[in-house]
Amino acid sequence: MSDPTPPAPGSGGDQGPARQTGEALPAQRRLTRPPGDRYATTSRPEPVVERPDLVRALVLGTVAGLGTAAVSAVFHAVLSITAGLVAISVLGGWLIGLGVRTGAWSGRAHRPSGAPLALAAALALATWLVGLVLAWLLSMAILPGSGKPFLDRLAATPFLDWLGPQLGPLDLLRLVLLVSVAWVSAHTTALERQAAA
């Protein structure tokens, strides 16, 4: 009598699973949506801002204006760099307008309002005047060859007497650039205007 033949692999006689050739695998069940979608909150559109926050706009615009006035006073009185004053006026006007726009709307959709534009132009004009006053004070403080105390120098050369010879076409150009760039920079973006429409 002969020994029985060992069972063929995969026929069920061994420990491995039985598998027939040509058998289709069962279809895997797929989710209709990702599991994370169950926990996602429905996004609501942000409400449209009706009025600008003029106090915040004034604070941010004033900070930018004071920085611009201080730098322009140093360039005017100490360094005597006139070409740099034009660049400072453009950059300062842009910063003032940006500060006003950011303070007024914070990047949110809003109704149209001309108040931030007028505020930016007024701050730019005030920045120009403050810059001239600071330049006068610096000029009197560093006046060479003067043995008088600082307050006596101010009394001897009042602001308007000092300003007369200082004003020229360049200062008027600086004023125009400062106000116009601040006004343009205070305008809102097209995306904010479109969202508010």
Segment 128-165, tens digit of pLDDT: 999 999 999 998 888 776 678 888 888 888 999 988 88
Residue 140 and residue 161: Cα distance in Å, rounded? 12
Please state, for a pLDDT cut of 90, what percent of the chain lies above it.
39
Three-state DSSP state, 110:
strand
- pLDDT above 70 for 8: no
Distance CA 35, CA 31 (A): 8
**Does residue 2 register a pLDDT over 70?**
no
The pLDDT confidence band at residue 96, using thresholds 50, 70 and 90, is: very high
Q: Decide if pLDDT at 83 tops 60.
A: yes
Tokens of 90: 């453009």
Range of weakest confidence among 28-37, 88-97, 180-189 = 28-37
Provide the pLDDT confidence category of residue 118 given band limits of 50, 70 and 90. Answer: very high
From 178, 185, 157, select the one nearest 69 (Cα to Cα): 178
pLDDT tier for residue 82 given thresholds of 50, 70 and 90: confident
57 CB contacts (<8 Å, ≥6 apart)?
A: 99, 100, 101, 102, 103, 104, 116, 119
**Spatial distance between the Cα atoms of 133 and 144, rounded to a whole number of angstroms:** 19
Query: So what's the pLDDT on residue 20?
Result: 59
How far apart CA 72 and CA 65 sit, in angstroms, is 10
Q: Computed from CA positions of residues 126, 127, 129, 130, in that sequence, does the dihedral angle turn out positive or negative?
A: positive
Domain limits, the chain: 54-196
Summarised one tens digit per residue, pLDDT across range 43-78 is 666 777 788 889 999 999 999 999 999 999 998 888
Q: What is the pLDDT of residue 126?
A: 97
Q: Cα(106)–Cα(197) distance, rounded to whole angstroms? A: 17
- Reported residue count of the chain is 197
**Which three-class secondary structure string do you get for 34-102?**
CHHHHCCCCCCCCCCECCCCHHHHHHHHHHHHHHHHHHHHHHHHHHCCHHHHHHHHHHHHHHHHHHHHH
20 versus 161: the higher-pLDDT residue is: 161
Highest mean pLDDT among 33-47, 59-73, 103-117: 59-73
Average of per-residue pLDDT across 14-29: 62
What is the Cα Rg of the chain in Å? 37
Spatial separation of the C-alpha atoms in residues 62 and 165, rounded to whole Å = 28
pTM (predicted TM-score) = 0.72
Give the per-residue pLDDT at 183. 95
